[in-house]
Amino acid sequence: MPTDLPEPTPSHTRTLESLLEDIRRAREDVSASRSGPVVPERLLSARQSLLRAMEAYAEELTARNLPIPWKLHGELRLQREVRRSSTASP
């Protein structure tokens, strides 16, 4: 039996808790970007970070064969629509 087999790669490199923490921080950034004078580029960047964090969490749930909460489905749809409309605007 060969001893030089490749090491198995872990299927889950991040915990769900850490991915949820990323979402929480991204939401705080979006909220802070909307407070006071709004800098459109900063708000757009914060929203993109939030979308990436939510997508990473949803992907990890799917990889673990866990359901994606309905609220997350709705938020993903909303953030994707915001992204589409902001890239379509001049």
Q: Evaluate if residue 9 carries a pLDDT over 70.
A: no
Residue 84 belongs to a domain: yes
Say which residue, 29 or 83, is predicted with more confidence. Answer: 29
pLDDT reported for residue 64: 93
pLDDT reported for residue 52: 96
Number of domains in the chain: 1
Q: Which domain holds residue 54?
A: 16-88
Residue 32 belongs to a domain: yes
Q: CB of 63 within 8 A of CB of 12?
A: yes
Q: CB of 51 within 8 A of CB of 27?
A: no
**11-19 average pLDDT score:** 83
pLDDT reported for residue 90: 56
Residue 77 belongs to a domain: yes
Residue 6 belongs to a domain: no
Say which residue, 7 or 28, is predicted with more confidence. Answer: 28
- Could you give the dihedral angle defined by the CA atoms of residues 59, 67, 11 and 29, in that order, rounded to the nearest 10 degrees? 40
Encode pLDDT of 20-75 as tens digits: 999 999 999 999 999 989 999 999 999 999 999 999 999 999 999 999 999 999 99
